[in-house]
Chain A
C-alpha cells in the first residue's frame, strides 16, 4: 500500500507568502507533485525575512525552510511572453492550480480561471485572496497578521479589561487558510472524480476567519452585543486559567468542568474545605469569584513546577498542562514521539523542520524533499516534465525568462 495517497496529482502553485505554500505542501506531503513558480524579479517575501538558514544565502529563510518543503521550485517571469507560454504548458498538465495574488493580477498573465479552463477543462483552480474576488474591498493589500485583525481574531485575544489592543507575535490565520484551501480543493477533486467537472474556488481569508467566530457573531446577531477578550477564562468552565508556578516564566493551565473535578482540585490543594465553600459552590459562583479563587490556586501552584501540578491533577482526571516554553515544546518527548519535528538534509546543511501535523494510520505521507531553493528544479520541470531541451532552457535562462 502506498504511503502517499495523492501521488497521482499535479499541482501548479503560483502562490506565495505563507498560506499558499502551506496549501501546496499539504498536498505535496501526501505525494502530490507541486510545482512552485517564483521570480527573482520580486522574490517571495517569505524567502528573505531574516534569519536565513545560511548567511551566504539570504533568500533561503527559515520560513522557507519549513513551508517550502515538498515543493518543486522553478523560476519564471510571468510578465514575459515566453514565460506565459511556459505557464500555459504547465497548466495544461495540471490537476490543481493555486494562486493568491491581488484579484485581477492573474488575468494580466493570461492565467485567470477562464483562460486556465480553456487549457485544461477539468482543472480545479483556487484563489486564496484576502477578501475574495469581488466586492468593494476585494483588492485590499494585506498579510496574514492583517487578516487576523480584519477577521476578528485579534479583537478576541487579550487580557481582561486591557484598553490597549494586543496582536499576536505572528500571523495566526495563514497556515489554517492553507489547510482550509486544501480541504476545498480535495472536496472539488472528489466531485471531479464523480462527474469529470473541474471548478473555481474563491476563498476569502477574511470571511474564513469570521467563520471561526460563531459565538461573538451570534451574540451580535441575537443581542447586538460586542464581545471582548476573556483572557484565559471560559464561559462553561471555572476555574479556567494559567497559574504561576515555581521557576522563571513557569505556568500551568488548569481547566475544571465538573463538580467532581473541582472537588479533585480542592483535594489536590489540600483544601477540602473549599469544596463546601459557597463562594465556589458551582461553576457560576466560581466564575463570579474567579479572582479570589485564582489567588488561592496560585498560592498552591507557586510552590510546585508546572510538571508537578500537571502530573498530580491529570491523575485526578483534571485538565492541567504546562504552558510549555518554545524550548520545552521542541524538546518534549510527546511531540518528538509523534513526529512533529523532523530532521532533514537541506542542501545548505542539516535542519529540523515541522513534520506532518496529522497522523493517518495507513497512508501517513511524509516529507520527501527539503525546502526548494530558488529555481532548484528548473531543469527537472522544464526539461523532464515540459520537454524543453537543455539548449532551450539555457537560452530562457539567458533571456531572463527563467529568472
Chain B
C-alpha cells in the first residue's frame, strides 16, 4: 500500500530540526569540517595530477589531443571535415632556424590560426597575432632575447632562417609576444599565412612531403570529445578518407600524432602508491567524520527518543521514523557540505602551492575540475549516511513504552549490581565516564586521532636525514649548462659544454678550495664501444624491437672480434671527480699507472644497492672507437649517401651511420665503480666507462666539459651561493648550478611541506575531536542536570562537583593521550618500514614529543570545558533544576 505521506514526514523532520538549534549548529560544523578535509584532499590531489598533465602538454608543446601532420592543402581540407573534432586548427610550416644565434634553440617559423596558437600555448601576452597581408610577426621572449630585440610592440627585427633548406632573411614588425616556456620543445615565430606563401615564392620552392620539403605543409591539430581513444579515432578518420598511417611508402600515407600526455596522465592517476595514499587519507577522514557525526546524531536521537516513542504510539511506522532521522541528517548534511566545499576549496587553493612547489617543472595551477566538488560531496555524504544508520535504527526500533524510560543511563547500565565502595568525587567521575563505554571510547578516539596525525607528521619530518639526503652530493657546487640539470631528457651536447671563461670566473672568486672537470661525449660526437652479443640483443629487446629487427641488426652491425658496435657513455674525469667514485671491485688507482686502464660504471639504486648494470667486469678488455665523423649508408647495399642524397632520402629507406676517420684503443677494466647520481650524464643510454680526463683528451681532444665540480673554502658557502645565483641569472643565463646549500634548502622546504600539511590536517581533525568532546560533554552535563541538583541538595558542594567534572574531563584528556601513545608505540614497526621505504633519505627516529606537548592543551580542554559548562549550568538554582 502506498500512502502519500512524504510531505508529512518531511514536515515532521523539518519541525524537528527547527526545535534543536544547538544540535544543528554542532552537526553542521562537524559535517562542514569533514567536507573541508575531503575538499582539500581532492583539490590538492587533482591539482597535482593536472600539474603533471599540464607539464606533459608543455613538454609536448600542445594540449591538443592529436594531429595529422605534414599534409598537403587538399588533404587538410578533406580531413578537417571529419565530424569527430570538438575543435581543430591549422598550422603551416614556413621554415626553421638553427644557425647562430639559434644554435642552442629550436626555432620554428610558422603560421598558426587562433585555435592552434591556443593549443600550443602561443597566446600573446602583449599585442596580437600577426595580421594577414602584412609583414608582422609574433614571437616568444626567448627568440627576441636571442635576436637581441627589445620586446616592444612595433619594433622591426630581421631574422634569417631556412625555407626547405634555402637561407632567407626577412624583416618583420613585432605584433605581439609571449613568455617562452623552458619546457616547450621549440621556440616560435608566428607569421601570417600570406607571408608563408610569399616566402615559398621568394625562394622558389614547393611542398613535397616525400622529398622532405615540408615548407607549406599543413598540420591539422584537433581536440576530440573524449581523450581515451585518440589513436583509434585518428585511424577511423584516416580510413574514412582513404588514408593510412602504417606504410610510409604508399601514396595515401598520412603521419598522425597522439598527445601521449593524456595516456600518461591516466597512468599517473592509476599510480598505485598515490592512489593508496589518497584512499588512506580518505579512510582517515571518513573515520574521523564518522566518530563525530555519529556521536552527534546518536546523542540527538537518544535525547529525542520519547518523541519517537510517541510517534510510534500514534502509528508511525519504523520506515517512516527512519526516514525522519535520515531526512534530518541529510538536510543538515546539505548545509554542512556546501559550506565545507566552499571553505575547503579556499584552503585547498592555499595549500596546493605548498605541494606543487616541491615538484619539478609543475606550474602552480589550482585545479578547477568539478570532480573535486563531486568527489568531496559524495565522500562527505557517504560519511553522513553511515553515521546516521545506527541512530536511525535506534529511533526506529524503540517501543513506545520503553521510550519513556529510555535515557542514556538506563539504556546502558545493563548491570544490576555494583560493589559498594567509598564514594568520592573521583570515583564518581570514573563511574560516570564508564556509563557509556562505547561513547567514551569514540570520543577519546576522536581526540586521539589528531594527536596521532600530529605525531606521525613529526616523526616523518624528524626522520628526514640530511646526511642520507646529501650522500649523493659529493661536491659543494656543480656548475654546468642549464639543460644538464633539467630532468627533461636533454642529451649532453658539445654545444652545451662548460666554457673555460666560466670556470675562470668561478676560480677568480678565490672561494674554491678543490675542483675538477668531468668531460663527456656530446650527442654530435662519435665514440663507440663493442659489446658482447647478449648485451647487444638485450638492449635491443629493451627497446621493444621485434625478433626480425634484431636478427637484421645482428647481421648488418659492425663487429670487432665478435663484439657488436654500440654507443658508449664515456667520462673523462679529473682527480677531484674521480675521487668521488665508490670502488665496488678492483683497483681504481691503476687508472693512473698507464693509459690502458678503464673503469666500468655500475648503477646504484636509491637505497645504495649496486645493480648488475655493465657488461664489462674487472679484467675484461674494452675497445673504444674514437671517430671524428660519421657517414650515412644503406646497410643492405652498402651505398654511402651524400649530404644531398640524405636530405632527399625517402623516409622508409634504411639509413645507418658509421664512424669515419677513427682510431681504436683497447683498455683493460681495472675497477668496477659506482658514481653518485649527481656526477653522471643524468640519463642512461649505454653502458658507461670512466677514463682519467688526461687520457680521454689525448685520444679525443674535442670532448667538452660536462660539468665543473668543486668544494668551497670553509665558511664561504653562502658567499659562493650568492655569487652563483647572481652569476647564473645575470651574467651567464644559460648556466645553472647545484650546491650543497641548495640541496639542504630543498630538503628543508620538503620538510616544511609535510609539516604544513600534517599540522593543517591534525588541526582540523583536532577541531573535530574537540567538537565531539564538547558535544558529548554538553549533552552529558545537560542530561545530568537534575542528577547534579540532587547531589547538591544532599550536600555535594560546588567545589566537589567541579572536581568531579574536571576529573571526568581529565579521564578523557589523558585517556586519549595514553591511547595515542599506545597506538604510536604499536605502530612503530609499521611506521619504521613505511617511512624508510617511502623516502629513501629517511632514517626512522621515533618520537613522542608532540604527544607530550599536547598535555597542557588537553588539560586545558579537559578541565576548562566542563568547568565552563558547570558555571553555565549553576546559573539556575537547585530547585529549578530539581523540577
Do A and B associate with each other? Answer: no
Which A residues lie at the B interface, using CB under 8 A? none
